[in-house]
Each structure stands twice: as structure tokens, then as C-alpha cells.
């Protein structure tokens, strides 16, 4: 399978995840082609919850960077996030 075909399948999975999460009441944003260790950011306004989601196929694994990010969040029991806009001159 060519790399563009693999990427296309990945995009399709991300959009499927967006659809599932939106139907669950989340407001979601896809983070395409980013260097972040996740693909989707979702907000549940009612429960004041922010979800960072990495979409994977059943056979794929997290990258080293994604594992480190996940372990950091879990190790320090991070439950609260702050959104901030930093203006730099």
C-alpha cells in the first residue's frame, strides 16, 4: 500500500471518530498535520471536559512521542487544562 493510501485511511478514521464524538455531544476540532501527539480536541461543555484524542487503527501502536505524552498525563494525574492565548511581540 502506498503512503498516500495509508494517510487517506487515517484521515477517514479521524473523520469517523469526529462523527462518533459529535453524536455523543462533544464539540470537536481535528488537528490535521500537526506535530502534536493527538489528532482531535473535543470539548464537553456540560461536564466541563476537554479530551485530547489520538486516532489509531486496531493494529497500530502509539509512537514513542505519543507514549511519552500519555505517560506524562497519567503519571501526574493531570485532570485540568487551561486554554491560553499568548501574544508575543
Indicate the domain borders of the chain. 3-75
Tell which residue, 55, 53, 54, 52, has the closest CA to residue 83: 52
The reported pLDDT for the residue numbered 10 is 85
The reported pLDDT for the residue numbered 79 is 85
Residues 18-77: tens digit of each pLDDT: 999 999 999 999 998 778 899 999 999 998 899 999 999 898 899 999 999 999 999 999
**pLDDT band at 80; cut points 50, 70, 90:** confident
End-to-end CA gap in the chain:
46
The reported pLDDT for the residue numbered 34 is 73
Amino acid at each position: 500500500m502506498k503512503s498516500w493510501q495509508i494517510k487517506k485511511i487515517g484521515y477517514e478514521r479521524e473523520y469517523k471518530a469526529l462523527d462518533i464524538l459529535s453524536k455523543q455531544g462533544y464539540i470537536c476540532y481535528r488537528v490535521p498535520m500537526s506535530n502534536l501527539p493527538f489528532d482531535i480536541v473535543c470539548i464537553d461543555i456540560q461536564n466541563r471536559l476537554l479530551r485530547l484524542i489520538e486516532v489509531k487503527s486496531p493494529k497500530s501502536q502509539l509512537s514513542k512521542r505519543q507514549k511519552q505524552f500519555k505517560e506524562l498525563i497519567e503519571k501526574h494525574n493531570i485532570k485540568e487544562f487551561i486554554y491560553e492565548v499568548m501574544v508575543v511581540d
